[in-house]
Structure 1
Amino acid sequence: MTTKKTSGRGQRDLTVKVKTARGRKLSSTLWLQRQLNDPYVRRAQTEGYRGRAAYKILELDDRYRFLVPGARIVDLGAAPGGWSQVAVKRANTLGEKAGKRQGSILGVDLQEIEPLAGAEFHVLDFMADDADEQVKQWLGGEADVVMSDMAASSSGHKQTDHLRIIALCEAAAYFAFDVLAPGGTFVAKVLAGGAEGDLQKLLKQRFTKVANVKPPASRKDSSEKFVVATGFRGRDTEED
């Protein structure tokens, strides 16, 4: 691994270049190089977040203000816990903000997650038949926010990956319909690619506002974007 110096005295270009080691694929080398040079990765390490994804939900919440003190939040596919870390502070789940309501956050994933003060984590398949009732039992009622940064495993085929993540997002949306309180918010990652029309139609039927946004923390070369649906109309909403 090398760093490239500049001509300025005492200054150095922060770009880190990684040499491809024997037995390591070029794609792995490029990923490592990108990670080492990613300012959000460095910020996450400095500020104690579990991953750069924390800044995506921070930026989305700065704009749409759904992680408010007192909110009851469900984090789907929560591992490693970066989104939950943000929610703990903003929803005041530790009761550190005097005079503000104390919220709660419940994270679920197929794998165990390292404990986090102010959050409750469970190993659960959110697509299981009784998952919605189990989550509401753990949460103590309906949720104000359901958020998901989940992505299906990459197949290497762009269109296939797009269809997979849209299907996963639709499953998360139907789960949200079952656990959200009226007026609630649904936030989820999608991939731009032309197959998300049905998802958008579905969300517009169930929420008063649906926005699609690419936060600054989302890499420019990525096709990911986030849907933020606010003002849940309730479970009695009739589909067209």
Structure 2
Amino acid sequence: MKSSKSKKVNRAWLHDHLTDPYVKLAQKEGYRARAAYKLKEIDETLKLVKPGQVVVDLGAAPGAWSQYLRRKLGTTGTIIALDLLDFEPVDGVTFLQGDFREDEVTASLEAELAGRPVDLVVSDMAPNLSGIPASDAARISHLVELAVEFATRHLRPEGALVCKVFHGSGYSQLVALFKQHFRVVKPIKPKASRDRSAETFVVGMGLKARRSE
């Protein structure tokens, strides 16, 4: 049986969810999740999404970010989405199912790109959390590091990476990692991110020139 405490937590979450203006807006505008408005605010602040771009959406399920990207790009550009979980197809979006941490999955994503440079990488990836802070911080950092590594290999020189991170252990090191690779780095906490959530987003724009070995 669930404890009275967990029932209270569930009731509080349900109340917040049902009264959340972004949940209502997502239902009204046909987005699969309120998360669409996080990317929308980041994009409107920094003007990242432009017609004709090649965009990679990591951690794409349930598909709200891909929906936003496709609406913003219209009939132009290419969107390749990847997630461990399946999701209902989004018109005009190529979806690959797999674990981004596995080399063969990354290879299939690269094969889909077929050598095309990428304009924008967006990552809403988050690991399953254990509740053990040190372990969770390491899992989060690993996913961000993989996204940065992928972006530095495939982005155009003026391209951008948007990554979900969490305040806490390892946060400052991840911002430093972005600064190591990008000319402009901006942390953003969109209004659609719940106040009590530790999540924020780090945006890197314009790759720094690689030093020759």
Q: TM-score by structure 1 length?
A: 0.80
Which letter maps to 1:51? Answer: A
- Work out which of the residue numbers 185, 188, 206 in structure 2 matches 1:231: 206
The equivalent position to 2:159 in structure 1, one of 152, 161, 184, is 184
Once superposed, what is the RMSD of the aligned Cα atoms?
A: 2.4
Stretches of structure 2 that go unaligned for 5 or more consecutive residues are none
Cα distance change, pair 46–163 in 1 and its aligned pair in 2 (3 A): same
Aligned to 2:126: 151
In the comparison of the two structures, how many residue pairs are matched? Answer: 211
SS in 1 for 2:12: helix
Task: Report the equivalent of 2:179.
Answer: 204
Q: Following the alignment from structure 2 to structure 1, what is the Cα–Cα distance between the partners of residues 132 and 7?
A: 18
The partner residue of 1:50 within 8, 29, 32 is 32
Contact kept, 8 Å, 1:162 with 1:192, in 2: the verdict is no
Deviation at 1:82, TM superposition (A): 0.3
1:206–1:237 contact (8 Å) kept in structure 2: no
**Partner Cα separation in structure 1 for residue 104 and residue 135 of structure 2:** 29
Q: Does 1:134 align with 2:116?
A: no
Higher RCO by CA contacts (8 Å cutoff, separation 6 or greater): 2
How big is the shift at 1:130?
4.0
Mapping 1:60-209, distance limit 5 Å: 60-92=42-74, 95=75, 102-140=76-114, 141-158=116-133, 160-209=135-184
- 1:136–1:143 CA contact under 8 A, matched in 2: no
Say which SS state the counterpart of residue 44 (structure 1) adopts: helix
CA distance in 1, matches of 2:136, 2:3: 29
Give, in whole Å, the separation in 2 of the partners of 1:156 and 1:176: 29
Offset, 1:176: 1.8
Any conservation in 2 of the 1:142–1:181 contact (CA below 8 Å)?
yes
1:21: how far off? 11
**Deviation for aligned residue 1:157:** 4.4
- Deviation of 1:152 after TM superposition, in Å, equals 1.6
2:59–2:123: 8 Å Cα contact kept in structure 1? yes
Opposite residue 33 of structure 1, the aligned amino acid is: H
**Cα distance in structure 2, aligned partners of 1:161 and 1:200:** 17
Counting aligned pairs with the same residue, the percent is 41
Distance in 2 between residues matched to 1:48 and 1:171, nearest whole Å: 31
Instruction: State the Cα distance separating 1:114 from its structure 2 match.
Output: 0.5
Distance 2:86 2:142 in 1: 24
CA contact (8 A) 2:96 2:109 kept: no
Give 1:159 shift.
Answer: 5.4
Structure 1 residue 117 displacement after superposition: 0.6
Show the 5 A alignment for 1:6-21: none
SS in 1 for 2:186: strand
Mapped to 2, the partners of 1:145 and 1:120 lie a distance apart of: 15
TM normalised by structure 2 equals: 0.89
